Amino acid sequence: MTTTITLTGAGGQIGYALLFRIAAGDLLGPDEKVRLRLLEIPQGLGAAEGAALELQDGAFGLLEHVEVTDDPAVGFDGCDLALLVGARPRGPGMERGDLLAANAGIFGPQGAAIAAHASSDVRVTVVGNPANTNALIAAASADGVPAERFSALTRLDENRARAQLAQTLAVPVDTVRRVPIWGNHSATQFPDVTYATVGGRPVTDALEAIVGDVPTWLDETFIPRVAKRGAEIIQVRGSSSVASAANATIEHVRDWVRGTDDWTSAAVVSYGEYGVPEGLISSFPVRSVDGEWRIVEGLEISDRARARIDASVAELVEERDAVRALGML
Ligand code: NAI
- List, as residue ranges, the binding site: 9-15, 90, 96, 103, 110, 127-129, 160
pLDDT at 94: 87
pLDDT band at 95 (very low <50, low <70, confident <90, very high): confident
| % of the chain residues with pLDDT over 90 | 96
Q: pTM for this structure?
A: 0.98
Distance 41 CA to ligand 1 centre (A): 11
Select from 81, 268, 301, 263 the least CA-distant residue to 176.
263
Q: Note the pLDDT of residue 40.
A: 98
What are 171-181's pLDDT values in tens digits?
999 999 999 99
Alpha carbon of 13 to ligand 1 centroid (Å): 8
Distance 109 CA to ligand 1 centre (A): 16
ipTM above 0.90, yes or no: yes
What percentage of the chain carries pLDDT values higher than 70?
A: 100
Q: Which of 6, 13, 14 to mutate to test the pocket of ligand 1 (most atoms within 8 A of CB)?
A: 14
Ligand 1 pocket residues where CB is under 6 Å: 8-9, 11-15, 39-41, 43-44, 47, 85-89, 106, 127-129, 131, 153, 156, 185, 240-242, 245
Closest residue by CA, ligand 1 atom 34:
129
Protein residue with least CA distance to atom 27, ligand 1: 14
Pocket perturbation via mutation, ligand 1, pick of 83, 129, 181 by most ligand atoms within 8 A of CB: 129
Sheet holding 281-289, edge to edge: 63-69, 33-39, 2-8, 81-84, 123-126, 150-152, 264-269, 281-289, 292-295
Q: How far apart are CA 268 and CA 165, in angstroms?
A: 25
- Alpha-carbon distance of 263 to 229, in angstroms, equals 22
Across the range 290-305, mean pLDDT stands at 98
* Ligand 1 geometric centre to CA of 31 (Å): 29
Binding residues for substrate, by number, are: 90, 96, 129, 160
Q: Active site residue: 65, 117, 185, 252, which one? A: 185
SS (H, E, C) the chain: CEEEEEEECCCCHHHHHHHHHHHCCCCCCCCCEEEEEEECCHHHHHHHHHHHHHHHHCCCCCEEEEEEECCHHHHCCCCCEEEECCCCCCCCCCCHHHHHHHHHHHHHHHHHHHHHHCCCCCEEEECCCCHHHHHHHHHHHCCCCCHHHEEECCHHHHHHHHHHHHHHHCCCHHHEECCCEEECCCCCCEECCCCCEECCEEHHHHHHHHHCCHHHHHHHHHHHHHHCHHHHHHHHHCCCCCHHHHHHHHHHHHHHHHCCCCCEEEEEECCCHHHCCCCCEEEEEEEEECCEEEECCCCCCCHHHHHHHHHHHHHHHHHHHHHHHCCCC
Tell which residue, 285, 329, 315, has the closest CA to residue 184.
Answer: 315
45: left (phi over 0), alpha (psi -120 to 50) or beta: alpha
Q: What is the mean pLDDT of residues 63-70?
A: 98
Q: How many CA atoms lie within 13 A of 101 on its CB side?
A: 10
Feature table: binding site for NAD(+): 9-15, 103, 110, 127-129
With CA atoms as reference, report the closest residue to 136 among 147, 122, 127. Answer: 147
Whether residue 185 lies in the annotated active site: yes
**Residue 311 phi, psi dihedral angles, 5° rounding:** -65, -40
Give the atom of ligand 1 at the shortest distance from the alpha carbon of 155: 40
Domains of the chain: 2-152 (3.40.50.720), 155-320 (3.90.110.10)
Residues 246-280: tens digit of each pLDDT: 999 999 999 999 999 999 999 999 999 999 999 99
> Does residue 240 register a pLDDT over 90?
yes
Q: Distance, CA 194 to ligand 1 centroid (Å)?
A: 33
Given pLDDT bands bounded at 50, 70 and 90, which one contains residue 92? confident
